[in-house]
A and B are shown apart, each in its own frame.
Chain A
Amino acid sequence: MKILVSVISILLGFVAGALLMLSSGANPLTGFSYLFQGGLKSVTRICNTIAYAVPLMLTGLSVTFAFKTGLFNIGAPGQMLIGGLLANVLALTAGLPRPLLLPLVIAASIVGGMVWAAVPGFLKARFNVNEVVSCIMMNWVAYWVVYIVISDHFKSTTIDTESQVIPAAASLKTEAITLLTKGSNLNLGIFIAIIATALVIFILNRTVLGYEMKAVGFNRFAAEYGGINVQKNAVLAMVISGALSGLAGLTFYCGYLSNMRIGVMPSQGFDGIAVALLANCAPVGVVFAAIFFAILQTGKGFMNAMMPIPPEIADTIIATVIYFAATSKLIEMNLDRIKKFFGRKRPSKSEGSGEHVEHH
């Protein structure tokens, strides 16, 4: 049922895209064919798509994890930036051999994300400050921190708006993978994303912590009644969510890219919300939703190059998909109606039998 809703959202998104292509005088079938070819045509393209999907998976997981606890982490961009910044700075300054440096760089990105998310979490728990507002403010604080730190200390010698390129020893890119995938951007980040997905599933389903957090997310009054510390859990959930976004920053700035750009808010942070929505907050679903978005993102340039279709069509499809995923209740309701319509041929039982039991 839940998967069906996601699939219907995607189909409706493509219908909208097809209509737009028709209106600009192009054949939608060729258009979609180029769109998918762009993302999946060769081994290199497939691997590039996956590499693009990795930060999305992590921000998607980050948002999902917060959602499960009843929190809306819209601060993923800021957490990515700070995670990426700490990782980059360490990579540029530490000068350690790879086996030591890489774990430290990874740890730095986690710490960065955690700290940046802990602030809204604490404000929420202690003073009931809306986490959406504080997260957005933290995003801009991160944006300017990156701006100042990089332009003052780590500016590239050639391009003013970028930081120095990190040494290969600190990058998630490995020669073996690059060779194997014929020069794609794919890197160790994919393993980080897979391990993170497994960990999130494990925490949510198997641990006391996950039990407490989900209880708080579903019904904070019952959680309170059961002796669960609602405030403590809000902070913890944000911190874990932040760690995941920090890792997303690592995989983006020390894997997919090799340096940071100043004055750019990473769109992967916000796209993580869309990924989580489309996946209906199921961790495994996040992996596939991220790949789906990545296909559209990496394919749109190819489509634009091959046909006179503006690349914004791909963005429109994404937007429509998100719209339908976000209003999934609407799709569910109509599914119910269709079922009811077919059920009516049987002798129907009277409606509103008085028992008001919730159905989802």
Chain B
Amino acid sequence: MAEYVVEMRDIVKDFPGLRANDHITLQLKKGEVHALLGENGAGKSTLMSILFGLYRADEGQILVKGKEVQITNPNVANELGIGMVHQHFKLVHNFTVTENIVLGLEPRRGVTMDLKSAAARIAELSRQYGLEVDPNAKIEEISVGMQQRVEILKMLYRDAEVLIFDEPTAVLTPMEIRELIAIMKNLISEGKSIILITHKLKEIKEVADRCTIIRRGRHIATVDVAATSEQEMAEMMVGHEISFVIDKEEKTPGDPVLQIEDLSVKNSHGSLGLRDFSLTVRGGAIVGIAGVDGNGQSELVEAITGLRRAEKGKILLNGEEITHETIARRIRRGVSHIPEDRQKRGLVLDYTVEENMVLEVYGQRPFSKHGLLNKRAIHDYAARIADDYDVRAGEGVLSRAGSLSGGNQQKAIIGREIEKQPVLLIAVQPTRGLDVGSIEYIHKRIVEQRNLGRAVLLVSLELDEVLQLSDRIVAINAGQVIGEVLAKDTDENEVGLMMAGVGKDGGGVER
């Protein structure tokens, strides 16, 4: 018997312009929970996609039970006993649990499906691992936590020995998280092995035996979880990168521009994504929201901009309540929004750049009068922004927005949002996927807005970005404020710990 059930040796994976995995080694012992820790974009998903057969590694070997294997597609991974519980479940909603689980290997009896014996086996597996799943329930009728268990059962039904959990707690309630941890322990005691992809330190501490930390595609360390503190793991995850020093003059914040009081907002699953959230952003200050993806940032931003309804609480802009105003009126009051998804929300890709530049102001003079567009004014305005913000495109502002590179699309959006002279600028992941040069440029522009006395709310998953730009940092976890610090008084470790759910005073937060 080999020492490791799965061993990935010196894996290298290149994407154009980016080395996603740079000689990463991961060794999974039988019967252990092995955590894979890293920031967003560190290369965790790429590594696991290689193991699951979705990508091929450019270099390196994969060994399963000591034998070298070629995992060319997910079916091969399944045959080798490797199963993945995806972050976004792959279930047919109007099918029953059993129908979903047998999908792809339907048991037959003659020409009919033998669902009864499958259901019996599923019920047996469910009992064995303490999953408590009803094989005959329809997916749309069961909770998200139960749906995840169906995904687990799917793997067990296919006799998986190694289970990969991709950010399994991201969509769960605190109660469900506790139950999941118990299930994982059951799986281990029944002889399964688990790879847990996460960036939540608390969960690693609770359930994992060993932890491999990667950063920017490189293997940093593999540590024994019991012998390593959360603090040390956070340090290894974040690392000490060279950062640009941004010229930020000292500035005393002005009057409150954005005030949020006890705001609760539902997420798209129908549960509360943001709970009793309060926040104040003053003029001339950048408030950074630090948090792991999916902890309520989207709900917060969408509630402020009007894209999502607030269940409870108040949003005030310059002292006036805007909680129930239309999106258009909020825009007119001076809310600018650099959206998280530039292609979905930020741009009409089939419109030209100039048409996109007036997406929020087309109805105002001089861009239109008596319901007629003033193409000349739109063109001149767009051309000026494109010029100022260095938006490069084949046919200038007459290019289709969809034909621009990601960086130029982003610069176009940022130019548009800043040129509206906002009172409040909300920047969500403003530099996602951009090269170093563009990042620096965009950072300067955002700081410029602050220096002009405008209120800036920055939401980013990049801790470095939050630390560099913000005056004040608010850490968000599970839809709640977990801590608030002045940027000059803190460091990566402290914020990193808060992001992972450890409060500023060192104590954990009841979730």
Contacts and interface: CB of A to CB of B under 8 A. Distances in A.
A358 B402 contact: yes
A36 to B, nearest CB: 37
Contact of B16 (A208, A214, A353): A353
Of the listed residues A207, A223, A226, A360, the one surrounded by the most CB atoms of chain B closer than 10 A to its CB is A226
Given A225-B327, A358-B402, 9 more contacts: A209-B371, A211-B373, A218-B350, A218-B351, A226-B327, A226-B359, A353-B16, A357-B402, A357-B403
A208 B368 contact: yes
A215 B402 contact: no
Contacts of B368: 208
A214 B404 CA distance: 20
Interface string B394-407: 00000010111110
Interface in B322-354: 326-331, 337, 339, 344-351
Of the listed residues A208, A214, A353, the one surrounded by the most CB atoms of chain B closer than 10 A to its CB is A208
How extensive is the interface on chain B, given as a class?
Answer: 35 or more
B346 A225 contact: yes
B355 interface: yes
Given A206-B372, A208-B368, A215 B351 contact: yes
Contact of A215 (B345, B348, B404): B348
A354 B328 contact: no
B362 interface: yes
9 contacts: A207-B371, A207-B373, A208-B372, A215-B351, A222-B344, A226-B327, A354-B16, A359-B402, A360-B400
A47 B455 CA distance: 67
B355 A211 contact: yes
Given A218-B349, A218-B350, A355-B405, A225 B359 contact: yes
Interface string B424-446: 00000000000000000000000
Contacts of A207: 371-373
Interface of A: 206-209, 211-212, 214-215, 218-219, 221-229, 352-355, 357-360
Contacts of B355: 211
Contact of B347 (A222, A228, A360): A222
Given A215-B348, A357-B403, A227 B326 contact: yes
B255 interface: no
Contacts of A226: 327, 331, 359-360, 362
A226 B360 CA distance: 5
A206 B337 CA distance: 27
B307 interface: yes
B331 A227 contact: yes
B41 interface: no
Interface in B286-324: 305, 307
B478 to A, nearest CB: 26
Nearest to B356: A222
A140 B381 CA distance: 50
Contact of A225 (B345, B351, B400): B345
Contacts of A222: 344-348, 359
Contacts of A357: 402-406
B17 interface: yes
Contacts of B339: 225
Contacts of A360: 350, 400, 402
A151 B400 CA distance: 55
A176 B168 CA distance: 78
A228 B362 CA distance: 10
Contacts of B18: 354
Given A222-B344, A227-B327, A359 B403 contact: yes
Contacts of A228: 328
Given A219-B348, A224-B307, A208 B405 contact: no
A123 B146 CA distance: 35
B363 interface: yes
Top 7 A-B residue pairs of the complex, sorted by shortest distance between their CB atoms: A354-B16, A227-B328, A226-B359, A358-B402, A218-B350, A225-B345, A227-B327
Interface in B1-43: 15-18
Given A208-B368, A354-B15, A223 B348 contact: yes
A226 B330 CA distance: 10
A208 B328 contact: no
A355 B406 contact: yes
B359 A229 contact: no
B425 to A, nearest CB: 15
Contact of A219 (B326, B330, B350, B400): B350
Contact of A354 (B17, B331, B348, B373): B17
Of the listed residues A206, A222, A228, the one surrounded by the most CB atoms of chain B closer than 10 A to its CB is A222
B488 to A, nearest CB: 34
Nearest to B15: A354
B16 A352 contact: yes
Contacts of A229: 326, 328
A221 B16 CA distance: 30
B279 to A, nearest CB: 22
Contacts of A219: 344, 347-350
Contacts of B345: 221-222, 224-225
Nearest to A223: B348
Given A207-B373, A211-B373, A227 B348 contact: no
Nearest to B367: A208
B403 A211 contact: no
Nearest to B358: A211
Contacts of B330: 227
Of the listed residues B17, B305, B327, B330, the one surrounded by the most CB atoms of chain A closer than 10 A to its CB is B327
Of the listed residues A207, A215, A227, the one surrounded by the most CB atoms of chain B closer than 10 A to its CB is A227
Nearest to B403: A357
A225 B405 contact: no
A214 B348 CA distance: 9
A358 B307 contact: no
Contacts of B400: 360
Contacts of A354: 15-18
A123 B406 CA distance: 38
Nearest to A352: B16
Contacts of A224: 307, 327, 345
A206 B373 contact: yes
A225 B337 contact: yes
Contact of A208 (B349, B359, B362, B402): B362
Contacts of B403: 357-359
A358 B349 contact: yes
